[in-house]
Amino acid sequence: MSAPVLRASGLSKRYQLGEHGRGTSLGRSLARMLGSSGDEARDNVFWALRDVSFDIHEGEVVGLIGRNGAGKSTLLKVLSRITHPTEGRAQIRGRVGSLLEVGTGFHPELTGRENIQLNGAILGMRRQELQRKFAEIVEFAEIEQFIDTPVKRYSSGMYVRLAFAVAAHLEPEVLLVDEVLSVGDVAFQRKCLGKIEEVAHEQRTVLFVSHQIDSIQQLCQRVLLLRGGRVQAFGPTQDVIAAYLSDAATSADGDFDLWDHPTRAGHHTPVIRRLRLCADDGSMTTRYGPYDPMVAEILVEPPHTLRDPIIGLGISDHFGRRIFTVASFFEPEGLEPISGLSRIRCRIPELRLGSGRYLVSVSVQDRYHGEFDGLENVAEFEVYWQNSYGTGEPFRPVFGPVLSKSRWERLEP
């Protein structure tokens, strides 16, 4: 393996909690100094990163995952020199480009052309470099006609495309990317992923954060999993993702509180409150037989009436690969409009899954408004093997994840 281009050794970052943070007022601070709560304030610290060490090699694309508050963004901020580590050291070989947000420094009053120039300078592009790539950026963003229009008149899609286009044309040796792909439409997301793959093929190194397990799988050879500011796992993508997913979705009784779930992407308004996995008799469970029915109860509270609600459940295996999806709009009768706090019941008559652990994703949207909330791989259940003939033959992965009933008979020749 080639030499490391990024090495973190014992990186730690401590934050002071409490009022003494953002935009505090002088008076309050003076009051605290005169008061006796000094010791209390000193104890009120939080380690966003604790003793984080790893090596990343040239040309590697490494995914960075973990629940919200695990320290992913702090790690990227320390590596991009936005904030200092409290302890430890990071070393980097080559130019670092960081993309912690799409469109940093974009100003609504400036035109597309002006924003490209400004944003390019902010991201560290040289003027000649920018001039050379200008046409390419405009083409990538698909905004040719609007290049001299102030971006405040752009649709949000155009805005995001332009912002990402500038960033995508950065050519640093080490690229740090925070969760920026969750914005924009699916087609453009795919285009951006393609761009990142291209970057990796040029022997450049990428460290990127995503909540979207499938983009991590598509792009990364290795994944770094953070938990509570520490490295919980760093290794081949499949192994780390499996560990992460099962960790994020365990519940002893089949009751999953999703109201402030950590993996909900930031821009979604929470609509889904709770998910309960039940047996056919309504009792909660996380263990099913291969042909058992599954009953899922979803508690939702949409901010507006969902006139034509589309609710879906996705079942994925432990590597995040989708096995099947059920959705209200697959069914001819659909679902009635939903308003206010509502309990939605979905019954899957037969699971037909091979033995193993599975993950449930849930999504709610309205066909008209596009109101959307979705949570990936948030509930885990187990299917145990039960050979209907009692032969004791174990379930083997080569059988594949899906079972089907079949009937066998011998016919006359």
Partner 1 sequence: MERWTTTIEPPRGWAFFPLREVWAYRELLYFLVWRDVKLRYKQTALGIVWVALQPIALALMFTIVFSRFLDAPSGGVPYSVFVLAGLVPWQLFAGALGRSSLSLVANEHLLTKIYFPRILIPLASVLTASVDMIFTLAVLGAVLAYYGIGVSAAVLILPLLIALVLIAAIGIGLLLAAINVRYRDIQAILPFLTQIWLFATPIAYSVTLVPDNWRAVYDLNPMVGIVEGFRWAIIGGDFPQALWPSAALIILLAVAGIVYFRRAERSFADIV
**Site stretch for partner 1 (CB under 8 A), options 18-26, 184-192, 211-219, 356-364:** 18-26
350 binds partner 1 (CB under 8 A): no
**Site stretch for partner 1 (CB under 8 A), options 38-46, 106-114, 186-194, 380-388:** 106-114
Longest dimension (CA), the chain: 99
Closest CB to partner 1 among residues 150, 334: 150
| Spatial separation of the C-alpha atoms in residues 213 and 247, rounded to whole Å | 14
96 binds partner 1 (CB under 8 A): yes
What's the min distance (Å) between Cβ of 239 and partner 1? 29
205 binds partner 1 (CB under 8 A): no
Binding to partner 1 (CB under 8 A) within 65-84 occurs at 77-84
Q: Which of 50, 72, 98, 275 binds partner 1 (CB under 8 A)?
A: 98
| Spatial separation of the C-alpha atoms in residues 18 and 38, rounded to whole Å | 12
107 binds partner 1 (CB under 8 A): yes
Tell me which residue of 208, 143, 128, 221 sits closest to 174, measured CA to CA: 208
133 binds partner 1 (CB under 8 A): no
Q: Which of 1, 22, 398, 407 binds partner 1 (CB under 8 A)?
A: 22
387 binds partner 1 (CB under 8 A): no
89 binds partner 1 (CB under 8 A): yes
8 A C-beta contact, residue 112 and residue 148: yes
153 binds partner 1 (CB under 8 A): no
Cα distances from 81 to residues 52, 112, 118, 226, 302, in angstroms, run 16, 28, 20, 19, 40
Q: Which of 46, 126, 153, 341 binds partner 1 (CB under 8 A)?
A: 126
Q: How many CB atoms lie within 10 A of CB 256?
A: 23
Structure tokens at 246: 């099962």
26 binds partner 1 (CB under 8 A): yes
242 binds partner 1 (CB under 8 A): no
| Spatial separation of the C-alpha atoms in residues 380 and 120, rounded to whole Å | 44
Q: Which of 32, 93, 230, 268 binds partner 1 (CB under 8 A)?
A: 93
Tell me which residue of 307, 142, 319 sits closest to 220, measured CA to CA: 319
Closest CB to partner 1 among residues 226, 249: 226
Q: Which of 19, 33, 45, 94 binds partner 1 (CB under 8 A)?
A: 94
8 A C-beta contact, residue 5 and residue 94: yes
| Spatial separation of the C-alpha atoms in residues 100 and 78, rounded to whole Å | 12
Tell me which residue of 71, 64, 89 sits closest to 15, measured CA to CA: 71
| Spatial separation of the C-alpha atoms in residues 8 and 90, rounded to whole Å | 4
Site string for partner 1, 28-57 (x = CB under 8 A): -x----------------------------
8 A C-beta contact, residue 310 and residue 331: no
Tell me which residue of 24, 66, 20, 23 sits closest to 46, measured CA to CA: 20
86 binds partner 1 (CB under 8 A): yes
DSSP letter (8 states) at residue 3:
P
266 binds partner 1 (CB under 8 A): no
| Binding stretches for partner 1 (CB under 8 A) | 3, 7, 15, 21-27, 29, 77-96, 98, 100-101, 104-105, 107, 109-110, 114, 117-118, 121-124, 126-127, 150
